[in-house]
Amino acid sequence: MMVLTKKMIEIRSILQRVGQSSTLTLPSIVVIGSQSSGKSSVLEAIVGHEFLPKGTNMVTRRPIELTLVNTPSSKEEYGEFPDLGLRRISDFSSIQRTLTELNMAVPDSECVSDDPIHLTVYSPNVPDLSLIDLPGYIQVVGQNQPLQLKQKITELCDKYIQAPNVILAISAADVDLANSTALRASRRVDPRGERTIGVITKMDLIDPIRGASILNDQQYPLRLGYVGVVSRAPQSQGLFKKGPTNLLSAIAKQENAFFSSHPLEYGNEAGVNVGTTTLRKKLMHVLEQTMSSSLQSTSDAIRQELEEATYEFKVQYNDRPLSAESYLAESLDAFKHSFKQFAEEFGRPQMQELLKHELDQKVLDLLAARYWNKPIGDLVAAKPGLDNLADLPKAEPDSLYWHRQLDASTSALTKLGVGRLATTAVSSSIQGHIDSLVSNSTFASHPFAREAIMEAASTILNERFYSTSDQVENCIKPYKFDIDIEEREWSQGREHVGGVLKKELQDCETALKNLESNVGGRRKLKEVMTFVDKARKGDIVVEGDGRSGAGGFSAALLGKGREAVFLRDRADIIKMRLLAVKSKQCTTSKNKYYCPEVFLDAAATKLASTAVLFLNVELLSEFYYNFPRELDLRLGRHLSEEEIEKFAKEDPKIRRHLEVIRRKELLELVLGKMESLRQLEGLERDRQAAG
Ligand code: GDP
């Protein structure tokens, strides 16, 4: 006997995790009584500790679902608020403070809340019980209390005193039972008095003869009877001796002294129930009985919920199993797989292309600054009589001027900080790729994981950044002094730079077209350009700087005109240079001063391939080795169960899926436990019948 309540209490706490209404179908003892009837004193006497909020104003505003767990093999006594994550509070005044705060948090406008506070007390001195403390009934609404308070308390209590709960109706002995609000409320829902226990407090305040007659329940008979108690904490307890067993034994002593001093009325012969110890036993017994008789209906209710959960799982999720861990592990595996694929596709050739493209842009800038910086007309004018082609970089390959131009350009190219440029380019390309891998993975809908992954990538890349760029810079150092281009390299450069120039030419032409449509047509643009040309040659004098417009053109239009002229000149030059590069003179590196485009392109290719060799060793291989490990660190086994759960639930679809599975599992677990309890009960009954 008496294992049932303990088991059922365990089951109740599992059901609470299911988060369904089923908790209410497990019977509890609901404690009701008017304010000052001694309700708190009774509860504290049962627990053996002062832990309930005290005060003149109404202090209980939320139901307290109090679970007592008997721990016979431990000396420790402590309370826990599972919903708040507060564990093992062994100082009961701290429990009292928490309860007070939780109650006070209910705003005055709401009066009372039906959201219960869950408190579990573990102790070798408590019986296994499940009690619900409710706000005390009030007779008259106080000055500072809202008018609907009385009504709201009644409604809240009515909700809890429904079957199968046991009602513990507290009434003070010094108040006529006819006026007991608790008994009146109980009679409304339990008219035959079958599941109500009457507790008469303050027995010390009335004449024993009258006391005995109340307990004999002649007036309002209850099948479970009445128990008389004197449960006020004895004064001698004072502030100094609030020890747990002290309150228990002090009350027992006090009650003993009182009841045994009236043996006629309260003694064994009198046939009445008195004392907190008797009350505790009665509560255990009644709860056990109630639990036993509600086993069937509770099982049925749970089975029904389980069927619903199973159905939902089938219909919505195709019976597909899932756990937060497996979801994370699968997501991580899939991500690592896609990373591996990326790693196979992104290697030296891809880095080479990437770097070469960066350097191509730098080469174009250098060419523009050193060679293409004059309008064609000027270049032609510098050497009248020769055709345009012969006149750009150089018709006189031996001229010192053009030698210096090429040397300076080469030097600028090798000294532009290739180490940093290359490392930055590769790093940000890797990061971009990782970002798009994440976007195409299940992690896309998990901000936490996305951040962890991006951080993993940037941590490794940042760690390697300075050493890599230094290494790269070091290994291209020889090129700062001399670049030797072989004929094969030369012809590759010639081929390649042709493409670059064509692309640049296209870009200029597209930009020109855009300008045309921007100013309202080709003719309009031509007009402005003609004006700008004339002004540049000095054929037209423009007053001031033309900022407020000139020649009938607005300043904005003139700006566009200048841009167009620049683009046109650039396109003209590039066309000529394209011809030059294609010409016979540029087929050999001997004419490098005449063909700076080809030379610089070949030089850039050399720089890029040397850089790539080191980037591959210093950055890429390191990254490919470390990244999956870093992922494991951040998203693998180091995450706690809660973190994994939190991660998985970031995706609402996964959250719902997990919740259905969890509900189903918990309900199955509970049902299994209930079944074995019922079997146990059956055996017990058979045994009793046989005995
Ligand atoms: P609640 O408002 O119903 O929770 O009642 P309390 O437990 O706070 O008790 C109200 C008052 O009655 C307090 O002053 C208690 O000390 C007092 N009281 C409670 N039980 C007894 C008792 O058995 N005997 C006497 N004399 N006073 C009691």
Over the stretch 608-663, which tens digit does the pLDDT of each residue have? 999 999 999 999 999 999 999 999 999 887 788 888 988 898 888 899 999 999 89
Residue 357: the pLDDT is 96
Q: Give dist(CA 207, CA 214) in Å, integer.
A: 11
pLDDT band, very low/low/confident/very high, at 380 (cuts 50, 70, 90): very low
CA of 35 to the centre of ligand 1 (A): 9
- Calculate what percentage of the chain has a pLDDT beyond 70: 92
Q: What amino acid occupies position 412?
A: A
pLDDT band, very low/low/confident/very high, at 686 (cuts 50, 70, 90): confident
CA of 248 to the centre of ligand 1 (A): 16
3 state SS of 648:
helix
**Residue 255 near residue 275 (C-beta atoms within 8 A):** yes
CA of 100 to the centre of ligand 1 (A): 18
462 versus 540: which is more confidently predicted? Answer: 462
| Nearest CA, atom 24, ligand 1 | 202
Q: How far is the CA of 475 from the CAs of 414, 613, 621, in angstroms?
A: 11, 10, 18
Does the pLDDT at position 434 exceed 70?
yes
Arithmetic mean of pLDDT, 482-510: 95
Q: Give dist(CA 195, CA 187) in Å, integer.
A: 10
**Residue 619 near residue 423 (C-beta atoms within 8 A):** yes
DSSP bridge pairs for 662: none
Q: What amino acid occupies position 381?
A: A
pLDDT band, very low/low/confident/very high, at 203 (cuts 50, 70, 90): very high
DSSP bridge pairs for 274: 228
144 versus 662: which is more confidently predicted? Answer: 662
Q: What amino acid occupies position 123?
A: S
**Residue 561 near residue 530 (C-beta atoms within 8 A):** no
- Calculate what percentage of the chain has a pLDDT beyond 90: 60
Residue 31: the pLDDT is 97
- Which long-range contacts does 374-377 make (Cβ < 8 Å, 24+ apart)? 375/569, 376/569, 376/572, 376/573, 376/576
Ramachandran angles phi, psi of 68, nearest 5°: -105, 130
DSSP letter (8 states) at residue 234: P
| Nearest CA, atom 28, ligand 1 | 232
Nearest ligand 1 atom to the CA of 52 is 4
Residue located via tokens 């009665």: 282
The residues lining ligand 1, judged by C-beta closer than 6 Å to any ligand atom, are 33, 35-41, 136, 201-202, 204-205, 230-232
Residue 33: the pLDDT is 95
Q: Give dist(CA 97, CA 205) in Å, integer.
A: 31
Q: Which of 59, 63, 237, 27 is nearest to 142 (CA)?
A: 59
**Residue 2 near residue 684 (C-beta atoms within 8 A):** no
Q: How far is the CA of 150 from the CAs of 117, 133, 137, 179, in angstroms?
A: 21, 17, 7, 16
| Nearest CA, atom 4, ligand 1 | 40
Nearest ligand 1 atom to the CA of 43 is 7
CA of 185 to the centre of ligand 1 (A): 21
Token reading at 507: 């870009």
Question: What is the greatest pairwise CA distance in the chain?
Answer: 144
Ramachandran angles phi, psi of 477, nearest 5°: -50, -45
CA of 134 to the centre of ligand 1 (A): 16
Arithmetic mean of pLDDT, 468-494: 94
CA of 37 to the centre of ligand 1 (A): 6
Over the stretch 531-588, which tens digit does the pLDDT of each residue have? 988 887 777 766 655 566 677 788 888 889 999 998 998 898 899 889 989 999 899 8
Q: Give dist(CA 329, CA 632) in Å, integer.
A: 10
Arithmetic mean of pLDDT, 48-69: 86
pTM of the model: 0.65
148 versus 34: which is more confidently predicted? Answer: 34
Query: Which 3-state string (H, E, C) describes 443-462?
Result: HHHCHHHHHHHHHHHHHHHH
**Residue 551 near residue 540 (C-beta atoms within 8 A):** yes
* Interacting residues of 266 by C-beta distance below 8 A, sequence separation 6+: 208, 211, 212, 228, 259, 260, 272, 274
| Nearest CA, atom 11, ligand 1 | 36
CA of 264 to the centre of ligand 1 (A): 26
Does the pLDDT at position 295 exceed 90?
no
Does the pLDDT at position 391 exceed 60?
no
Task: Give the DSSP H or E segment for 36.
Answer: none
Q: What counts of helices (H) and strands (E) characterise the chain?
A: 23, 10
Question: Pocket of ligand 1, candidates 34, 40, 41: which has the most ligand atoms within 8 Å of its Cβ, to mutate?
Answer: 41
Residue 467: the pLDDT is 95
DSSP codes, 538-568: TSSPPSTTSTT-BTTB-HHHHHHHHHHHHHH
How many other CB atoms are found less than 10 A from the CB of residue 676? 11
Token reading at 420: 């940093």
How many other CB atoms are found less than 10 A from the CB of residue 121? 26
Strands (E), 184-279: 196-201, 226-228, 273-274
244 versus 478: which is more confidently predicted? Answer: 478
**Residue 206 near residue 173 (C-beta atoms within 8 A):** yes
Arithmetic mean of pLDDT, 243-265: 86
CA of 55 to the centre of ligand 1 (A): 12
Does the pLDDT at position 688 exceed 50?
yes
| Nearest CA, atom 26, ligand 1 | 202
Ramachandran angles phi, psi of 651, nearest 5°: -90, 115
Residue 386: the pLDDT is 37
Over the stretch 358-379, which tens digit does the pLDDT of each residue have? 999 999 999 888 888 765 554 4
Question: Pocket of ligand 1, candidates 35, 36, 96: which has the most ligand atoms within 8 Å of its Cβ, to mutate?
Answer: 36
Q: Which of 41, 29, 38, 32 is nearest to 155 (CA)?
A: 32
**Residue 448 near residue 647 (C-beta atoms within 8 A):** yes
Q: What is the mean pLDDT of the chain?
A: 88
